[in-house]
Amino acid sequence: MARFRNALALSTALALVSASALAGGTKPAPAAKAAPAAKKKPPPPLSADHKKALAELYAGFKFGMTKDEVLGVLQKQIDDANEDKLKATTDVAAQDRIRRDKKAELARIAASYTAFEAKTTGWDVSIIAGEFAHNTGEALMERWENSGGKNQRRFFFFYNGKLWKMFVSLDVSILPEDKKNFETFRAILEGKYGGGDVGDTTITWRAGEFDVRAIDRLKDYDALGLAIEDPHTRGDVEALRLSKAPPKEQTSPVIKAIVDPDNKDHPDVKSNSGAVDAVIKAQGGGTPPPKK
Asked if residue 275 is part of any domain, the answer here is: no
In the predicted model, is pLDDT for residue 248 greater than 50?
yes
User: In angstroms, rounded to a whole number, what is the distance separating the alpha carbons of residues 200 and 7?
Assistant: 37
Asked if residue 266 is part of any domain, the answer here is: no
What is the average per-residue pLDDT within 272-277?
A: 40
Range of the domain at 114: 48-244
Asked if residue 117 is part of any domain, the answer here is: yes
Percent of residues, the chain, with pLDDT higher than 70: 71
73 confidence band (pLDDT: 50, 70, 90): very high
Asked if residue 60 is part of any domain, the answer here is: yes
* Cα→Cα distances 218→7, 165, 187, 229, Å: 42, 22, 16, 22
What is the average per-residue pLDDT within 167-172?
A: 90
Q: What is the pLDDT of residues 133-155, one digit of tens each?
A: 999 999 999 999 876 667 789 99
User: In angstroms, rounded to a whole number, what is the distance separating the alpha carbons of residues 127 and 107?
Assistant: 23
Q: What is the pLDDT of residues 104-130, one digit of tens each?
A: 999 999 999 999 997 889 999 999 999
HEC assignment per residue over the chain: CHHHHHHHHHHHHHHHHHHHHHHCCCCCCCCCCCCCCCCCCCCCCCCHHHHHHHHHHHCCCCCCCCHHHHHHHHHHHHHHHHHHHHHCCCCHHHHHHHHHHHHHHHHHHHHCCEECCCCCCHHHHCCCCCCCCCCCCEEEEEEEECCCCCCEEEEEEEECCEEEEEEEEEECCCCCHHHCCHHHHHHHHHHHHCCCEECCCEEEEECCCCEEEEEEEHHHHCEEEEEEECHHHHHHHHHHHHHHCCCCCCCCHHHHHHHCCCCCCCCCCCCCHHHHHHHHHHCCCCCCCCCC
11 confidence band (pLDDT: 50, 70, 90): very low
Task: Give pLDDT, residue 78.
Answer: 95
Number of domains in the chain: 1
Asked if residue 84 is part of any domain, the answer here is: yes
Asked if residue 1 is part of any domain, the answer here is: no
Task: Give pLDDT, residue 174.
Answer: 76
Asked if residue 215 is part of any domain, the answer here is: yes
Asked if residue 10 is part of any domain, the answer here is: no
Over the chain, what is the mean pLDDT? 80
